[in-house]
Structure 1
Amino acid sequence: MITITSAQLSTWLALFIFPFVRILAMIASAPILGNRQVPVRIKIGLSIMLTIIIAPTLTIQPNVDPATALGFLIMFQQILAGLAIGFTMRLIFTSIEMAGDIIGVQMGLGFAIFFDPKNSSYVPVVAQFLGTIALLIFLSMNGHLLMLEALADSFHIFPVNSTTSSAIALHTLVSWGSSIFSNALQLSMPVIGTLLIVNTALGILTRSAPQLNILAVGFPITLIIGFAMVMLTLPYIVPLLENITRASLNTVLHIMQLLNKS
């Protein structure tokens, strides 16, 4: 007769529930997998499947009951780690969409907005276009698999234990948010520079010919030149996205190392 004690049951539950919480938090906050179009049942099912694959390779601190105060502390740490991974990877697409927002405003398309079903919000058309292109590139370079690989590595860098997390990790995570502006400006700078020259030329033309209707002439010119520069800038999205993805993965591993330091 096989007998199962409460201690064994608690150990098996801890072996499953702690990794499951981190994986579910990452999937809920990560790009692509965390989109609102993905049903909750699929997210939970994918989290369970990944937990079944990853959990046997982990070493969980023994004698930790998930229903105790220590268990809730460890669970909170796992949620924090999962959200940190997902948030760091989501900033990749946020920077690309911000670049499209800046380009759209400079082109005069700031009023042209489109409903974004991924985030259930309204975004400029150019930002939606660049975001879709970045999403396709990210999938073609297996970025979603690299994200899952970083998740698996995080369990070995920041194992499931009762170690008190360092506040420096949160500061590093917040500091990584500044990459949104630098990456967005890096991508949109050619278009901004070109349109700045165009607007300067139109301003000089208006001063030399006051009877010229600048609204009727300038708007089509900025649109044509803006779209032309966007077409010329598209090939440079691939290396930029690769660099941002690589930097994001390194940041994830660095944050996990800082979380493991008390």
Structure 2
Amino acid sequence: MLEVTFTQLQGWLVAFFWPFIRLGAFLVAAPLLGHTSIPNRVKIGLAALLTLVVAPGLPAPPDIPMMSWAGLGIVVEQMLIGLAMGLTMHILFAVVTAAGEYIGLQMGLGFATFFAPDTGANTMVLSRLLHMISLLLFLAFDGHLMVIEILAGTFVILPVGISGLNTNAFELLARFASTIFVSGLLLALPLVSALLIINLSLGILNRASPQLTVFSIGFPLTMLVGLVLLMVMMTDLGRFMQRLFGQGMAFLQQLVQTMVPL
């Protein structure tokens, strides 16, 4: 008859529970798997499945009871690691959303907004479209598999019970948020520059010929030119996103390395 002692049961629970917290926190914060349209049961089940796959190859967990203050500190530590990695992925996808905001405002689509349940705020239609395309490209590039591989590798670099995290990693994460504005502006710069030139030309034309109703032709012209340039930009969007995702994966590894306590 198979007998399981309390010590063995506690060891199995500890080996499963703390990796589950880190993986679950990442899945909650990740932009794709953490979407509000995905039920919480699916997220918990996926986190448990990933934990069952990853846990057998992990280093031995510390001999600390789960129901203790030290165990609570390890839970918070695992949550911080998972949330930081999930926030990094949110920053990557926010680049495309910011570019859509810049382009939409310049095209005159500032009024074309709708409520996005995942962000809880009004989002421009163009930003939402680019965000969905970036999610599909992320899946096409197997980005989700690479992120899971990096996340599984964090248990070697940052084993459970590492006794503290380097706070410089969170400062590095805050500085990485500038990528939203820098890369977003670089993506939108060709369209914004062309539409700005058109608006300046229409302004000069209105001063030279006041009887010409520039306002009646300005909006359709900027809309038409913006759509044409947007079609041209789509041909190079895949290469831009591939470079952006590569930058994000490199930063994830750098972030994990920086979290190692001094």
TM-score between the two structures when normalised by the length of structure 2: 0.95
**Corresponding residue for residue 168 of structure 1:** 168
**Stretch deviating more after TM superposition (112-121 or 22-31):** 112-121
Native 8 Å contact 2:74 2:161 kept in 1: yes
* Cα separation, 2, equivalents of 1:138 and 1:115: 24
**Corresponding residue for residue 57 of structure 1:** 57
**Corresponding residue for residue 121 of structure 1:** 121
Native 8 Å contact 2:98 2:180 kept in 1: yes
**Corresponding residue for residue 20 of structure 2:** 20
**Stretch deviating more after TM superposition (233-242 or 201-210):** 233-242
* Cα separation, 2, equivalents of 1:176 and 1:161: 27
Q: CA deviation at 1:251?
A: 1.2
Q: CA deviation at 1:25?
A: 0.4
Native 8 Å contact 2:59 2:156 kept in 1: no
* Cα separation, 2, equivalents of 1:236 and 1:120: 30
Native 8 Å contact 1:202 1:218 kept in 2: yes
AA of the residue aligned to 2:77: Q
Deviations 1:211-243 (CA, angstroms, capped at 9, x unpaired) = 122221111111111111111111221111111
User: Aligned pairs, how many?
Assistant: 262
Native 8 Å contact 2:59 2:155 kept in 1: no
**Corresponding residue for residue 234 of structure 1:** 234
Deviations 1:104-139 (CA, angstroms, capped at 9, x unpaired) = 000111011133344343211111111111111111
Q: Is 1:249 equivalent to 2:249 in the alignment?
A: yes
Native 8 Å contact 1:114 1:124 kept in 2: yes
**Corresponding residue for residue 67 of structure 1:** 67
> Cα–Cα, structure 1 residues 260 and 165, in superposed 2: closer, same or farther, change >3 Å?
same
Equivalent residues in 2 for 1:73-152, closer than 5 Å: 73-152=73-152
Native 8 Å contact 1:103 1:188 kept in 2: yes
Native 8 Å contact 1:11 1:64 kept in 2: no
Native 8 Å contact 2:198 2:222 kept in 1: yes
Q: CA RMSD in A?
A: 1.4
Q: CA deviation at 1:11?
A: 2.0
Q: CA deviation at 1:3?
A: 4.7
Native 8 Å contact 2:18 2:74 kept in 1: yes
Native 8 Å contact 1:157 1:253 kept in 2: no
SS at match of 2:114: strand
* Cα separation, 1, equivalents of 2:45 and 2:38: 11
SS at match of 1:109: coil
**Corresponding residue for residue 154 of structure 1:** 154
**Corresponding residue for residue 31 of structure 2:** 31
Native 8 Å contact 2:166 2:261 kept in 1: yes
AA of the residue aligned to 1:222: T
**Stretch deviating more after TM superposition (17-26 or 157-166):** 157-166
Native 8 Å contact 1:84 1:252 kept in 2: no
Q: CA deviation at 1:91?
A: 1.4
* Cα separation, 1, equivalents of 2:5 and 2:77: 27
Equivalent residues in 2 for 1:210-221, closer than 5 Å: 210-221=210-221
Native 8 Å contact 2:16 2:51 kept in 1: yes
* Cα separation, 2, equivalents of 1:158 and 1:253: 11
User: What percent identity do the matched residue pairs reach?
Assistant: 37
SS at match of 1:16: helix
